[in-house]
């Protein structure tokens, strides 16, 4: 379901941009596909909510759905939280918090494998900070500036959501000398910004060190790097997404060494990108993973 939804989000029907072709909407099948996926998600989320309502609960096993249902019960008389709202919140976490987070981690691993010196530097940092202990916590992550730089560089070079989320102007605006009317849909090409040679030195290269030399961050204050958008409409899940990616990547490079099958050279690993609302690597990533001997 999630894959089909992301495919549909990446579909750009011609009638959206040429209104007089809207009559073709009846024949392209997009509306039917959207309705089918929406129905499947609604049924799935309804099942999840009902299962949580009837199951036995333990305080140490509460999840997001349990908490939302508690809020619904506590506010039933004054400000009711409808089931449809709960479904929307779950879907936001399930979709926005899954695919883009996975994509960022996937590209980070690809680029690390393609750059042996970089992954060695990262492994030395992580293993030096953590040692041989099993778990990595947030305090450990604070000792890993190179890890954070690697993820920033991965987000810059392979922006998971290259065109971000479309916006609609609420008033007439002038953009770069052009008059843009209220109600116009505006698309920001975050990928092009992150590849602009006037903003980045050798933007085609994967070089995490650039973020050790600058204070540029991705939280919406530096417009050279906006993988999560900017302003009040920036991604609300940026802290969650980066915490997940930092912990996941740190654990992977801490516990394992990486290689390619059949004697392939790391530098030859391709970085071809698929088309869609999110940019994945084209084709599966095949890697030989070996537990590291401490």
- Residues comprising the binding site? 235
Cα separation, 166 vs 158, whole angstroms: 19
Express the helix, strand and coil content of the chain in percent, nearest 5 each.
55, 5, 40
What number of other Cβ atoms are within 10 A of residue 85's Cβ? 12
Q: What is the C-alpha end-to-end distance of the chain, expressed in Å?
A: 41
With tokens 């920033």, the residue in question is 152
Can you say which residues are annotated as belonging to the binding site for heme? 235
Distance from chain centroid for Cα 60:
29
> What are the phi and psi torsion angles at 291 (to 5°)?
-60, 135
In sequence order, what E strands does the chain have?
Answer: 167-168, 173-175, 178-180, 185-186, 256-259, 288-291
Cα 258 to its chain centre, rounded Å, is 23
> Is residue 246 within 8 Å of residue 145, measured between CB atoms?
no
As a whole number of angstroms, the distance between CA 113 and CA 141 comes to 21
Q: What sign does the CA torsion over 236, 164, 245, 91 have? A: positive
């Amino acid at each position: 379901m999630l894959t089909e939804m992301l495919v549909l989000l990446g579909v750009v029907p011609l009638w959206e941009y040429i209104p007089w072709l809207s009559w073709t909407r009846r024949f392209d099948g997009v509306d039917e596909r959207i309705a089918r996926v929406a129905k499947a998600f609604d049924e799935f989320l309804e099942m999840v909510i009902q299962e949580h309502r009837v199951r036995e609960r333990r305080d140490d096993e509460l999840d997001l759905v349990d908490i939302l249902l508690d809020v619904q019960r506590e506010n039933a008389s004054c400000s009711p939280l409808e089931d449809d709202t709960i479904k929307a919140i779950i879907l936001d976490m399930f979709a926005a918090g899954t695919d883009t987070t996975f994509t960022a981690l996937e590209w980070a691993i690809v680029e690390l494998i393609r750059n042996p010196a970089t992954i060695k530097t990262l492994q030395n940092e992580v293993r030096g900070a953590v040692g041989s202990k099993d778990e990595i916590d947030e305090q450990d992550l604070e000792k890993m500036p190179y890890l954070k730089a690697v993820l920033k560089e991965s987000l810059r070079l392979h922006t998971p959501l290259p065109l971000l989320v479309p916006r609609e102007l609420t008033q007439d605006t002038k953009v770069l000398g052009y008059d843009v009317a209220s109600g116009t849909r505006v698309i920001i090409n975050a990928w092009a910004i992150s590849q602009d040679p006037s903003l980045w030195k050798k933007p085609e290269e994967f070089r995490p060190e650039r973020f050790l030399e600058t204070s540029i961050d991705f939280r919406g204050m530096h417009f050279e790097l906006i993988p999560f958008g900017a302003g009040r409409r920036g991604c609300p899940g940026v802290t969650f997404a980066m915490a997940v990616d930092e912990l996941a990547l740190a654990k992977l490079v801490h516990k394992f060494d990486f290689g390619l099958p059949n004697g392939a050279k790391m530098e030859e690993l391709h970085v071809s990108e698929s088309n869609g609302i999110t940019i994945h690597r084209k084709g599966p990533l095949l890697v030989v993973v070996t537990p590291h001997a401490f």
